[in-house]
Structure 1
Amino acid sequence: MRAVQKLEALGPNLGYPHSSSLKEHGDLRELRPRGGRSLWRAFYRRIGDAFVVAAVGPAAEHDKRGFDRAARRARTRLDEIAED
């Protein structure tokens, strides 16, 4: 929960290790709770003035297939939102 609060407070200035871009998934970013020490990631993108979290999945180091699946799901959801 604090990771989301940091994102709200710092916005695009929230840097690594708390947030990082996903090169394989376009403009999608991962929120890395506990400075990356958590086994979970929240996948988000900025749409307008809002940061929209679209999926939560495992850290890539823990479960690469689950990470990629969650990232694809987030991208699909965010693309649908951006179209509206």
Structure 2
Amino acid sequence: MAKKISIEGMSCQHCVMHTKEALESIGASDVKVDLKKKCAVISNDVEDEKIKAAVEDAGYEVVKIEEASEESGSKLKGFFKKIKG
């Protein structure tokens, strides 16, 4: 089950990488972090408490964790393809 994490406190690409690394360190896979939308999406099921602790230890605030719809995951994948291209 994919999850969408709403995050406050990120302000630059360094914050994005720091958040991504924090989530990957707890076993989150296919991590996508969107600075503009202030969120991250992970493709696997990691306990909410672990997610919150990892993001807060990285210095950011978790506002909400919810199940990510297939549509939001697809939109983010397209977003990151545009950045890379």
Fold match (TM-score > 0.5): no
What TM-score, normalized by structure 1, do the two folds share? 0.35
What TM-score, normalized by structure 2, do the two folds share? 0.34
